[in-house]
Amino acid sequence: MSKFLYFLLLSSVSVCAQITITSNTLSQFYTNNSITEYRMESGSAGQTVDLGSPSASAQTFDFSNLFENREFDTLQIQYDSPGTYPGSERYTSSEHVSIQDYGQPGFSMMLYVYFTVENDGLKIQGLANNTIIPGVMDTVTYTDYRPYILSYPTPFTYGDQRSFTDTAYSIGTTDVEISIFTWVCDGYGTLILPNGVTAEAIRYTKTEIEYEYEDGVLEDVETQVDVEFITNAGYSVSFSVDSTYTGGATTPDGIRVSESGTPTSIKNVDELTPSEYSLRQNYPNPFNPSTSISFALPVESSVKLSIFNMVGEEVAVVSDQNFNAGLYNVKFDASNFSSGVYIYSITAAGINGENFKSARKMLLMK
């Protein structure tokens, strides 16, 4: 469940001091914002990282070389008001929704996380997972949290500790998960990010013990420990560590780095080279009148990104040029188009001789 926690940071500072994360800070961040998240889930290739230690003295948490010799996946996450997204009719008291695209060529899978920010923290009410395989299925599955899941406590600063228990129900199944969370804020100092940003941050250890039940029978117990760093706005860094970890250098099982903002023009938004070509689902979708399209290039390539109507006519060329390897976002403005379903298509020719073609549907609703 901790995978649904996405917090970030901003400004550059020169004086290190303790900070406090407040509900107002979170509320402002999740209002019509977006993040790019870099994930490394399968181990760090034996490389160690110094995460600092529990301490009442200011520390420097230097992660400027974190991206070196590690391969990260990239995920674009959008935050919006619930509106008419799948699940909005179910979680009617939510103030915000995060939209996460896990689709691949041939199918679309969108995760919608509904939450509110209250005085005592960020609370998730439920999840809606919309899976679409054209011509085969279009289903939405739900996970309800009763009464909610506390994803992050506020206010939170050095020396604070908080515990919380929640229950998750997978609708349509007999599966139940009971999780006990404990947060301990045990450090603070200067955080240095891979992109060079420096900011004041707090360090905390979060422990989750998850009990999985099926038909009332306990099937599994899992413990996850994360050491995380967060500032008042902008970026965050999280490391999954062994349950015996107490401080200092360690080999993390997973790493996540989050960066605020969505490019509004064609721009390379990834620090690393993608491992393969891909064309991602546009966001938002449906849209009016503009939407963002993302694509990944493992090598330098000649790229043509086109828009077609449903009878196969090319109605726009968004881009036709060479790009270096990377992950790119491009904004498509459909102000001069009528409502309806359109196809966006990419054709890429790499300098290594590899060719890539892919297409997805999008819906313009005016």
Give the residue-averaged pLDDT of 99-119: 87
CA angle 63, 66, 70 (to 5 degrees): 170
Please give the C-alpha separations between residue 201 and each of 156, 162, 318, 351, in angstroms, as whole numbers.
11, 18, 40, 43
The neighbour count for residue 236, using CB atoms within 10 Å, is 23
The model's confidence at residue 224, banded by pLDDT at 50, 70 and 90, is very high
Interatomic CA distance for residues 103 and 133, integer angstroms: 10
Q: What are phi and psi of 74, to 5 degrees?
A: -120, 135
Beta-sheet pairing, 290-297 with 96-101? unpaired
pLDDT digits (tens, 9 = 90+) for 172-209: 888 999 999 999 999 999 998 877 778 889 999 999 99
* Tokens 């690393």 belong to residue: 272
Which pTM was predicted? 0.66
Q: With a cut of 70, say whether residue 227 has pLDDT above it.
A: yes
Give the residue-averaged pLDDT of 254-273: 60
The one-letter code for the residue type at 96 is: H
Mean pLDDT of the chain, nearest integer: 84
Of 33-42, 227-236, 346-355, the one with minimum mean pLDDT is 33-42
Who has greater pLDDT, 11 or 62? 62
- For the chain, the domains span 2-260, 267-364
The one-letter code for the residue type at 332 is: F
Interatomic CA distance for residues 79 and 111, integer angstroms: 12
pLDDT digits (tens, 9 = 90+) for 88-104: 999 999 999 999 888 77
Interatomic CA distance for residues 212 and 233, integer angstroms: 34
Encode 260-297: b = buried (16+ Cβ within 10 Å), e = exposed.
Answer: bebbeebeebbbbebeebbbbbbbbbebeeebbbbbbb
Q: With a cut of 60, say whether residue 342 has pLDDT above it.
A: yes
Q: Which CATH number fits domain 267-364: 2.60.40.2550, 1.10.357.10, 3.90.1010.10, 3.40.50.300?
A: 2.60.40.2550
pLDDT at position 46, please? 61
The model's confidence at residue 3, banded by pLDDT at 50, 70 and 90, is very low
Q: What are phi and psi of 28, to 5 degrees?
A: -65, -40
Q: With a cut of 60, say whether residue 2 has pLDDT above it.
A: no
Who has greater pLDDT, 254 or 366? 254
Locate 111 and state its tokens.
């995760």
Q: Is 73 helix (H, G, I), strand (E, B) or coil?
A: strand
pLDDT at position 17, please? 60
Q: With a cut of 80, say whether residue 250 has pLDDT above it.
A: yes
Q: With a cut of 50, say whether residue 7 has pLDDT above it.
A: no
Give the residue-averaged pLDDT of 329-355: 89
